[in-house]
Structure 1
Amino acid sequence: MPLGITRALVCAALFTFAACAQPAAEPEAEGALRIEQLSVETATGPVTFNVEIADDEAERNRGLMFRESLADNAGMLFHFQEPEMASFWMRNTILSLDIIFIAPDGRIINIADHTTPYSEAPVPAEGLTGGVLEIRAGRAEALGIRPGALVHHRIFGTE
């Protein structure tokens, strides 16, 4: 077999092997968080959100920074492995948010509504939290979400 044909066949075989060895593309964008449903009990019935789950330190640190929009039924749920006195800020956060602090048993402790974009002022919980829900500003009041309401999600054991 002439050398040119041999090289061409070897190159074709290597290209085919390399193409087959590539991992399959992720269905979600790199860095995209898992999305789960969460519901909150209100006086008019349950309200459901599709929330991104931030359950490691890097995901919690980034949060909703740099986001330019957030759907009415969307949010981010920050999960803490151990209950803690959580405090948030709005650094690099373009959108005003309602920050809902949730006890380990799934009850809402307090709500910081209409937070100020880009603010570095602390936004603290008023008790030990097992999770924090961030939604678009004004949604908590509009939907009747209040302190004491029960949040249904697996991390609180209230699914």
Structure 2
Amino acid sequence: MIDRRAILALAGGAWAFGFGEALAAAAKLETVEVVTSRGRARFQVEIAATQAEQARGLMFRKSLAPDRGMLFTYKRPQPASYWMKNTLIPLDIIYIQPDGRILSIVRNARPHDETPLPSGGLVLGVLEIAGGRAAQLGILPGDRVLHRIFPKV
């Protein structure tokens, strides 16, 4: 289970001074598509694959464009639980099962809230997007997420 608190002390200082947004701008982006009953929603995402990247996540970001996000990837399915400490903007947290289907969504997670936000089951990925976007786009549990880490159907 991911616990961002473990690495916060190491990563937090530099990000608090604006390096987070500078690094985000330089990060290689990948495309994630979510197939909903309304159509496809496409996001350009940063990949958080290492423990340090996952602990830092979108902390200290002052904004997130509506078509941007971060995809947390795991080597094996596992339960996940996120929190919003040091996160300045509301986020939708989308937990994705190993088959690419959305398991659950935490909508408009509150900035600075330390309450654990569990996945409710095993996930292979977690997509964080701007708060409110999932509702705007009609993204629901059961919808399919398309990205290289999920099997093609």
Q: Where on the TM-score scale, by shorter chain, does this alignment land: which range?
A: 0.7 to 0.9
Distance, in Å, in 2 between the alignment partners of 1:99 and 1:29 is 21
Query: Between Structure 1 and Structure 2, how many residues are aligned?
Result: 132
Distance, in Å, in 2 between the alignment partners of 1:41 and 1:30 is 26
Residue in structure 2 matched with residue 68 of structure 1 by the alignment: 62
Q: Which runs of 4+ in 1 moved over 3 A?
A: 28-33
Within 5 Å, give how 1:22-61 maps onto structure 2: 29=23, 32-61=26-55
1:158 has 2:152 as partner: yes
Q: Is the 8 A contact 1:33 1:54 kept in 2?
A: no
Q: Is the 8 A contact 1:42 1:144 kept in 2?
A: yes
Q: Which amino acid in structure 2 is aligned with residue 121 of structure 1? A: T
1:134 has 2:128 as partner: yes
Structure with the largest fraction of strand: 2
For the pair shown, the structure with the greater C-alpha radius of gyration is 1
- CA-atom RMSD, angstroms? 1.7
Paired-residue identity, %: 51
- Asked which structure has the greater RCO (Cα within 8 Å, sep 6+), the reply is 2
1:118 has 2:106 as partner: no
TM-score between both structures, scaled by the size of structure 2? 0.82
1:103 has 2:97 as partner: yes
Residue in structure 2 matched with residue 88 of structure 1 by the alignment: 82
Unaligned runs of 5+ in 2: 1-21
